[in-house]
Every structure is written in C-alpha cells, then in structure tokens.
Homo-oligomer: A and B are copies of this chain.
Amino acid sequence: MPQYQAPTRDIEFILNELLSLQDHSDLSGFDEVNEELVSAVIDECGKFGRDVLAPLNKVGDEQGCVRNPDGSVKTPDGFKDAYGQFVENGWPLMNKPANMGGQNLPYIMSMATSEILSSANMAFGMYPGLTSGAYEALMAGGSDAQKATYGPNMASGAWAGTMNLTEPQCGTDLGLIKTKAVEQADGSYKITGQKIWISGGEQDLTENIIHLVLARIEGAPDGIKGISLFVVPKFIVNEDGSLGERNALSCGGLEEKMGIHGNATCVMNYDGATGWLVGEPHRGMRTMFVMMNEARLGVGLQALAQAELAYQNAADFAVNRLQSRSLQGPSAPDKPADPIIVHPDVRRMLMDQRAFIEGGRAFAYWTALHGDLEHKSTDPAVRQKAGDYMALLTPVIKAFLTDRGYKMVNEGLQVHGGSGFTREWGMEQIVRDCRITLIYEGTNGIQALDLVGRKLAADGGRAIFSFFAEIDDFIGTHDDNAELKVFLDGLREVKAQLVDGTQWLMKNGMSDFNNAAAASTDYLQLFGLTALSFMWARMAELALRKRGSDPFYDDKLITGRYFVARILPEGASHLVKLKTGAAPIMALADDRF
C-alpha cells in the first residue's frame, strides 16, 4: 500500500519563502500568519493525512460505497470515524470567517491542507472539498437567511454540501437541463427531476446534506439563460436550526466507476423535493460558477496531489528495488544488484515527476494567493489584477495540472515495472483515481475552450497582458544575474512562444472560431509550460540567494534546471500544432469516422 508523508519542506518553502505570506499582513486573516503557524498547520495536517486518511485509501478503493435498499449509503469502513475527527479537529473551519465560527486563515492555507488530504485519500477529500464549494456558492449567492440557516454547519463540516448539475442528457451543455422547479405559495419550490454523478449525494458522514441543484423554473426561457439554482436540504431545517422533515429526494443508485471508489457517486432523484431559490431566477449559472471555479482549482490540485503520492512511492521503490547493474559499473557491489535508481531512464521518470510537482505546486499556490488578494486587498488595482489572474489561470490549473499529473502518476506506476500493475502495490489505484481529474468540473477540452474563448479576450486581453508584463518585469529585474541565465533564457523563449500563439489566436481565432477551438488544447499546454517556467525562474532566483544553508536549495536548482532542459522543449511543438488551424482537424467528413 502506498505510503505518504506530507512534503512539508516544499510546502513551507512556497508559503513562507517564495510567497512570503507573512509579508501580506495587511490582508484580513493574514495578520496571524507567520512561519511558525504555517509549519504547525502543515505538520498537523500532514500527521492527520498520514496516520488517519492514508491507511483508509486502499480500504476505500476495495470496499467502495454501498447503497442499502432504503437508499441510504454506507461509506467504507473507517471513513465515518475519520470524518468525525476531521470535523472535531476543526479543519473545515480553518479558512472560514469568524462569523461562521472560523479561524479566518487565508484561502492559500486551505490549498495546502487540501493538497495533503487529496494525497492521503482523494476519495475522502472530495467530501469536504465539495462541501467547501457549496458553502462558497451559498455565501456568494444566497440570502442572509440562507447564509444563517446553512452557513455555520456547512462551514464546520457538520453538514455536507453537493453540487447537482449533470443529468443523463446533459453534462457539458447545462442548457439542456430538464429538472423542473415549481413555485409554491410559500415562496419555496418543488423540485422534480433526476441528477447523475452527484459526488457525495448520499453518505453516512454527516447528519444533513445540503444539495445545490440547477433546475428550470416553469416557463423559464430555453437554454442556459433559464437555469436557476436551488438549495435543497436532505432534511428541512426548522426555524430553530434543528432538523425537521426528510425531504423528497433520494439516492437512486451508485455509479460503478474506474476509481475514487470511496466517494459515493450518486444518481439523485428529486421527487417534488422542497427547495429554495438561491439568488435571482434564471441566473443560477452565475452562482454555480463560484462553486465551479473553486472546484476547478481543487481538481488541478487533486492531480498534483496524486502525482506527489505516486512520486514518493516511485522514488522509494527505485532506491530499494535491486535489479541489474549501473552501466558505469556496480554501485552496490556488495549486493546482488544495484538499486534501479542508478539507471538514467528510471531517474528520468522521477525527475519528470519532481519537476512537474514542484513547479505545479508553486503555480497552484501562487494562483491561490491571488484568490486571497482578489477578495481581501484594500487596493482596487490589486483586487482587479488578482481577479483577472484567477479567471485566466483557473482553466490552466485545472487542465494542465490534471493532464500532466495523470502522465506523472503513470510514470510513477511505470517505475514499479510489473509491480505497478498489481493491486498489491497500490500504484494502479492512484492511476485509476487520478483519471477522473481530466474529466470532472468540465473536461480539459472545455477548460481549453474557456481559456481561448472567454478568458483571453475578456477586458481586451487585460489579464494575459498583465501576466506577460509580470514575466517581463521579472526577467528585466534579474537579467544581470548570470547564474539565473539558463532559467531566464528558458522563460524568455517559452513566453515568446506563448505570445506568438496568442497573436496567432487573435488573428485567426476571431474570424473562424473553429481555429480557436482547434488550437485551444495546445495553447493551454503552452500556457501551462510558461507558467511553470515562470515559477521555476522565481524559485531558482530564491534558491540561488539561499543556497549553502540547506541542500534543499541545491536540489531545487537541479530540479529546476531539469525542467528547463527536458520539459520546456515541448513548448515548441505545441506552438507548431496550435498554428495548424482547424483545417487538418476538420477535413474528414462527419460520416467517415
């Protein structure tokens, strides 16, 4: 079974040194953040992940969730107890505001703890992850009464939240939603319809489940502009806050799937269930996107977390498995063979994983810091830029980290050779669990379309120009740093490719949207490489300054140089591909596939 140790040193490097959270004490919730607090939180979370959640990861995969004949759902052995500890220890409250009973710590801190939970047990981590998203959506779109009714218990994790979007006939295209909402005399609605693939739609972890449900009010306009959002609790909440009547909704079945068996993926039947409108009628998508954007960052992080888990176990296997000799002569002559880490091709896979994980972690956390800045900065210009970045970078985080993360978990399996394919070693579970991250919360193709179709052009390209300018600033500031040259050269080159690709899109994507769509995935990959290159240049600059005090900084420079030498070269081929336009892709007639 895979072992997991939270990568506390690297997380603390990013939070304390690279992003210097302690320097943002002007932001709400940051005033108490210092290196000691960060270390304490990460250490504690790491222990919880290692000791409580990781041991349940295989149990969850093997047992899965079971739906009882009465529609109730049993999560795997140990999940309920672990969830109880999770709530009791106050983890969900860490980044919630004081008026909800929370500690008001920064959003970026919860990114770090989410990473740890997802590495230790991705299926488990989804329960609080979705609750957090549903909570944020209610806070963003709900009435004061709704916030008061559901907020505190969702903030603490006493109640769970879900998001109900998909129906059998619609996943990506939510305009096709058929679930109906009929207004009642008391202002509530009766919700009727079937939702599928609802993560945590039913479970035995919490005493109530607050479903956020997209539905169409009778007489609403067709399509996406007729979709409203409703809050539909499993148990109606009485005025005094106690739980009342069981609502007319139920889990009609569990989906059998490739992985994340420990998370209950439910068919949810709403049979005239009582729900309340969240926000304005027909504007449900707007609020749901609050949830989806948070969820998309979370999904990118899940893949990164699975890559970390796979890497740790692959590295461990590589230093312990004895097989063959080094090509340069025995490295362990006293043993029957050398550890396979002596082989360059094994090490190539491990270095690929490190370079991705460390760069991707910096990228995800740096983006999350903009989430804090967007909401908490007192400077409108900072808020605007941070908001621009969040919008621009969310699809990149989601798709780039999951595409690459999935490749990396497969590399981790590959390092294990035949053992990787057996269930015993647990690597194949990591691959199966990670596979969903390329799909849910909008497939990676949808993310790429979002990036080129919406995010690039928004506000006249303000976000991307701001991103380019920040990179140029960094290069300009450090251009005389000879030791940084290899990093700056790499960054300059990949950024120039991204500029080139952006210009191509502006020229060719507007006149023919199919050109933009055809280029979208390669553009997103090129964007991700640029972002990681920027992160690596920043980390290298810091490591060069700090080197000598800790071999950690030397390792960081080695891994960063690997990234520049052996991963960045992929940018060029993405640029060539994105510039082919739609013609080669669309030439074959529909009926000839």
CB-contact partner of A344 in B351, B514, B555, B591, under 8 A: B514
Query: Using Cβ atoms and an 8 Å threshold, which residues of chain B touch A345?
Result: 445, 448-449, 517-518, 520-521
Q: Across the two chains, which residue of chain B brings its CB closest to A260? A: B421
Residues B173 and A323 in contact, CB atoms below 8 Å apart: yes
Whether A424 sits at the interface, judged by CB under 8 Å, is: yes
Q: What is the size category of the interface that chain A forms with chain B?
A: 35 or more
Query: Using Cβ atoms and an 8 Å threshold, which residues of chain B touch A591?
Result: 319
Residues B428 and A257 in contact, CB atoms below 8 Å apart: yes
C-alpha spacing A197/B422, complex, angstroms: 10
CB-contact partner of A586 in B176, B319, B347, B566, under 8 A: B347
CB-contact partner of A171 in B315, B323, B351, B431, under 8 A: B323
CB-contact partner of A577 in B197, B418, B518, B566, under 8 A: B566
Whether A469 sits at the interface, judged by CB under 8 Å, is: no
Residues B423 and A344 in contact, CB atoms below 8 Å apart: no
Residues B432 and A414 in contact, CB atoms below 8 Å apart: no
Residues A576 and B569 in contact, CB atoms below 8 Å apart: yes
Query: Using Cβ atoms and an 8 Å threshold, which residues of chain B touch A197?
Result: 418
Whether A341 sits at the interface, judged by CB under 8 Å, is: yes
Whether A484 sits at the interface, judged by CB under 8 Å, is: no
Residues A344 and B588 in contact, CB atoms below 8 Å apart: no
Whether A559 sits at the interface, judged by CB under 8 Å, is: yes
Whether A580 sits at the interface, judged by CB under 8 Å, is: yes
Query: Using Cβ atoms and an 8 Å threshold, which residues of chain B touch A580?
Result: 565-566
Query: Using Cβ atoms and an 8 Å threshold, which residues of chain B touch A346?
Result: 445
Copies in the complex: 2
Query: Using Cβ atoms and an 8 Å threshold, which residues of chain B touch A413?
Result: 435
Render A137-178 as a binary contact track against B, CB cut-off 8 A, 1 for contact.
000000000000000000000000000001001111100100
Q: A345-B445, A520-B345, A593-B350 are in contact. Are A423 and B585 (CB under 8 A)?
A: no
Q: Across the two chains, which residue of chain B brings its CB closest to A316? A: B593
Q: Across the two chains, which residue of chain B brings its CB closest to A347? A: B585
Whether A457 sits at the interface, judged by CB under 8 Å, is: no
C-alpha spacing A259/B438, complex, angstroms: 20
Query: Using Cβ atoms and an 8 Å threshold, which residues of chain B touch A204?
Result: none
CB-contact partner of A418 in B348, B440, B521, B558, under 8 A: B440
Whether A444 sits at the interface, judged by CB under 8 Å, is: yes
Q: A417-B171, A577-B569 are in contact. Are A518 and B555 (CB under 8 A)?
A: no
Of the A-B pairs whose beta carbons lie under 8 Å apart in the complex, a sample of 27, sorted by A's number, is A173-B324, A197-B418, A255-B422, A255-B424, A256-B424, A257-B423, A257-B428, A258-B421, A258-B422, A258-B428, A319-B593, A328-B514, A339-B590, A341-B593, A344-B520, A345-B445, A345-B518, A347-B585, A406-B410, A421-B436, A551-B592, A555-B592, A558-B584, A559-B588, A566-B577, A569-B572, A569-B573
Further pairs besides A166-B418, A345-B449, A566-B577: 16, Cβ < 8 Å: A169-B336, A172-B324, A258-B428, A258-B431, A259-B421, A319-B591, A319-B593, A327-B513, A327-B517, A343-B445, A410-B435, A414-B444, A551-B592, A561-B587, A569-B573, A572-B576
Which positions in A face B, CB cutoff 8 Å? 166, 169-173, 176, 197, 255-259, 315, 318-319, 322-324, 327-328, 336-337, 339, 341-351, 354, 406, 410, 413-414, 417-418, 420-424, 428, 431-432, 435-436, 438-440, 443-445, 448-449, 512-514, 516-518, 520-521, 551, 555, 558-559, 561-562, 565-566, 569-570, 572-573, 576-577, 580, 582, 584-588, 590-593
